[in-house]
């Protein structure tokens, strides 16, 4: 089996589980938007935006560091596992204690409405538990990937999202049904059930995280409470720039939602955040593809780095990755008139013009993540820090400039700009410090054509499904024509 086929096989396993998991999660979007008003959904969006930023801090960049040092020190795999886990565990325990002690002032920061203060305190405490459990599971999950246990990894992730979706349905539909028909336990349920309360979403998340922790116990039992100080010093030097880079990335991804709620007038803030958060969900399909790629690619890239033809392999992978992203970009916009019904309430559809910008931003992000392998393999993670800081500065400054005037549309533009700039800088620096023979002309050509087709589909032909899909099929036919010779070579390899 060729190297590329092996890579595609591993990525496919992660991809299938990620697709099913995210699609199950996607089912919740029409449920949330159907049950919760836009303002209430804005609370949900804001809380998860903060959680994403905290997650990056707790993980401390140790996931990438774990993969890198497994391959640098093959004689110290247990020590690398121990060090990575103990680092995250120490930070997470400090966070857990601090968060619980400071839950009151944190709640006061999130809302100045005395009537909502008690609810926000509950939200904060639930999220502290979720974030703690998710953080200490990072390295056990990474170990499964490093050990090529993609199926086990996928099953656990699938069960996690299954629990999350299942308990959401219990709280939103089943319990009200039991109470309405006075079935067994109805009296007890009535004594505490609060109806349409967004906090139940967070309770379901906590339950799912606990189930994941239990399923990962075999990996936890493989830990040894031994700490290699000298090795940790090297790992720390590699890891902290990744931490800052990841944090900057999370800022790029989530600051817009937080800033929206702060810069817009109180009477419309939660409503606008709710609309933006809902239409962002349409971009989930590209996010799924990028996530599946990263899960398979990260351990593969590190393990393949010593091969003589590694750079050529990386170039080929990016080439077809861009083709897939471009097709997804055009395909999602071609069918946006169907996808919008997953949001259900028409009050959210006003945000659809933000979707093309968000999707192209994700395309740039996917390319950037692929390109970023150069500084990880060359142990120059500081460049990832610099690039991410540039993206974060663009995000912060431009959001403050554009949101007061353009609301969430300004956020969508800024997101696209930040990821585009990061992608370009990463390519330029990568070719200087760790040159990889990418077919730049074809990559740019595919990206430009996809942008032109999206403009035609969304704005010129006014989101007409038939014309949009005709453009998509034409694009696919052209790609097959231009790539047919290279595809034949790849498929012939054993």
Give the Cα separation of 52 and 65 in Å (integer).
Answer: 20
- Which of 131-135, 300-304, 351-355, 369-373 is least confident? 300-304
Give me the pLDDT at residue 3, please: 64
Residue with tokens 């999950």: 141
Which tokens belong to 428?
A: 């330029």
Q: Burial-class residue 83 by CB neighbours within 10 Å (0-12, 13-18, 19+).
A: buried
Report the pLDDT averaged over residues 213-227. 93
For 466, how many CA atoms within 13 A lie in the half-sphere containing its CB? 0
Q: Report CA torsion sign: 359, 361, 367, 370.
A: negative
- Which of 54-63, 69-78, 239-248 is least confident? 239-248
pLDDT in tens, 233-253: 999 999 988 888 777 777 777
CB 234 within 8 A of CB 373: no
pLDDT in tens, 345-382: 778 889 899 999 999 999 999 999 999 989 988 889 88
Q: Report CA torsion sign: 352, 30, 134, 325.
A: negative
Q: Dihedral angle at the C-alpha atoms of 409, 360, 57, 103, nearest 10 degrees?
A: 30
- Which of 90-94, 95-99, 297-301, 370-374 is least confident? 297-301
Give the Cα separation of 415 and 395 in Å (integer).
Answer: 7
pLDDT in tens, 177-195: 999 999 999 999 999 998 8
3-state helix, strand, coil in the chain (%, to 5): 85, 0, 15
pLDDT value at 494 more than 60: no
Give the Cα separation of 407 and 403 in Å (integer).
Answer: 4
At 46, the pLDDT band (50, 70, 90 cuts) reads confident
Of 153, 113, 112, the residue nearest 16 (C-alpha): 153
Give me the pLDDT at residue 1, please: 43
Give me the pLDDT at residue 287, please: 80
Q: Report CA torsion sign: 186, 191, 195, 199.
A: negative
Percent of the chain residues past pLDDT 90, beyond the cut: 52
424-439 b/e (C-beta count within 10 Å ≥ 16 → b): ebbbebbeeebebebe
Q: Is the pTM of this model over 0.75?
A: yes
Give the Cα separation of 333 and 331 in Å (integer).
Answer: 6
Give me the pLDDT at residue 73, please: 84
Give me the pLDDT at residue 342, please: 75
Looking at every residue in the chain, the average pLDDT score rounds to 88
Q: What is the DSSP letter of 343?
A: S
């Amino acid at each position: 089996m060729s190297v590329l086929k092996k890579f595609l096989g591993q990525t496919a396993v992660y991809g299938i589980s990620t697709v099913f998991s995210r699609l199950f999660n996607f089912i919740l979007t029409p449920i949330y938007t159907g049950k919760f008003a836009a303002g209430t959904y804005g609370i949900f969006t804001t809380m998860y935006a903060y959680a994403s930023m905290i997650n990056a801090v707790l993980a401390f960049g140790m996931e990438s560091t774990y993969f890198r040092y497994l391959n640098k020190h093959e004689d110290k795999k247990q020590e690398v596992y121990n060090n990575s886990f103990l680092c995250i565990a120490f930070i997470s325990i400090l966070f857990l204690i601090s968060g619980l002690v400071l839950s009151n002032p944190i709640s006061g920061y999130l809302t100045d409405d005395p009537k909502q203060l008690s609810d926000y305190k509950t939200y904060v405490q639930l999220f502290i538990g979720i974030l703690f459990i998710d953080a200490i599971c990072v390295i056990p999950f990474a170990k499964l990937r490093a050990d090529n246990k993609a199926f086990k990894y996928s099953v656990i992730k699938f069960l996690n999202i299954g629990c999350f979706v299942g308990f959401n349905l219990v709280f939103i539909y089943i319990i009200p049904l039991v109470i309405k028909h006075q079935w067994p336990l109805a009296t007890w349920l009535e004594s505490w059930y609060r109806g349409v309360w967004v906090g139940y979403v967070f309770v379901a998340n906590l339950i799912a995280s606990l189930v994941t922790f239990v399923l990962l116990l075999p990996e936890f039992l493989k830990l040894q409470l031994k700490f290699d100080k000298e090795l940790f010093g090297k790992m720390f030097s590699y890891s902290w720039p990744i931490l800052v880079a990841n944090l900057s990335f999370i800022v790029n991804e989530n600051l817009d939602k937080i800033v929206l709620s702060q810069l817009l007038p109180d009477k419309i803030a939660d409503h606008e955040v709710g609309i933006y958060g809902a239409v962002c969900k349409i971009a989930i399909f590209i996010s799924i593809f990028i996530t599946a790629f990263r899960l398979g690619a990260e351990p593969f890239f590190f393990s393949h780095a010593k091969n003589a033809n590694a750079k050529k392999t990386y170039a080929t992978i990016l080439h077809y990755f861009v083709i897939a992203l471009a097709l997804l970009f055009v395909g999602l916009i071609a069918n946006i008139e169907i996808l919008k019904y997953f949001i259900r309430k028409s009050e959210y559809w006003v945000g659809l013009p933000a979707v093309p910008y968000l999707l192209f931003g994700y395309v740039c992000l996917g390319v950037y993540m692929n390109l970023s392998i150069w500084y990880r393999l060359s142990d120059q993670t500081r460049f990832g820090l610099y690039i991410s800081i540039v993206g974060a500065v663009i995000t912060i400054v431009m959001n403050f400039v554009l949101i007061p005037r353009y609301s969430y549309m300004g956020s969508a533009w800024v997101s696209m700009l930040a990821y585009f700039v990061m992608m370009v800088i990463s390519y330029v620096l990568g070719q200087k410090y760790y040159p990889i023979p990418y077919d730049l002309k074809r990559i740019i050509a595919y990206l430009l054509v996809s942008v032109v087709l999206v403009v035609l589909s969304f704005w010129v032909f006014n989101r007409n499904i038939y014309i949009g899909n005709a453009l998509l099929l034409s694009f696919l036919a052209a790609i097959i024509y231009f790539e047919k010779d290279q595809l034949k070579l790849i498929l012939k390899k054993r």
